[in-house]
């Protein structure tokens, strides 16, 4: 792993390097991931939360960070990283709301 646990987690239990950005101009609301490791390319990516299941989006961000810092997906540390979702919501004063919609498919 390319970073120690103390540097990975904030005091409130959320992940460093992962933040929420409100919609701005043309950009939708996103979970943004920014991380730099000496000797590796800088990782900067964002995952839109609009029209998507938030927990799935958050898991994708955690997985991307985990791969970048060489944390085994499905391992204990990855699960600890994934478990920060509810604290992330609290930190950014977000709440989950159920959304129900119908999707169209073509008739065969």
Q: What is the pLDDT along the chain (108 residues), one digit of tens a residue?
A: 567 777 899 999 999 999 999 999 999 999 999 987 777 778 889 999 998 999 999 999 999 999 888 898 899 999 999 999 999 999 999 999 988 878 788 887
Q: Report d(CA 30, CA 20) in Å as an integer.
A: 6
């Amino acid at each position: 792993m390319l970073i120690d646990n103390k540097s990975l987690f904030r005091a409130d239990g959320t992940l460093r390097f992962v933040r929420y950005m409100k919609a701005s101009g043309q950009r939708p609301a996103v979970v943004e991931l920014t991380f730099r490791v000496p000797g590796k390319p800088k990782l900067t990516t964002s995952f839109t939360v609009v029209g998507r299941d938030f927990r799935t989006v958050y898991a994708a961000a955690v997985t991307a960070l985990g791969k970048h810092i060489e944390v085994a997906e499905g391992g204990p540390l990855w699960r600890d990283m994934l478990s920060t979702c509810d604290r992330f919501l609290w930190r950014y004063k977000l709440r989950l709301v159920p959304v129900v919609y119908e999707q169209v498919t073509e008739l065969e």
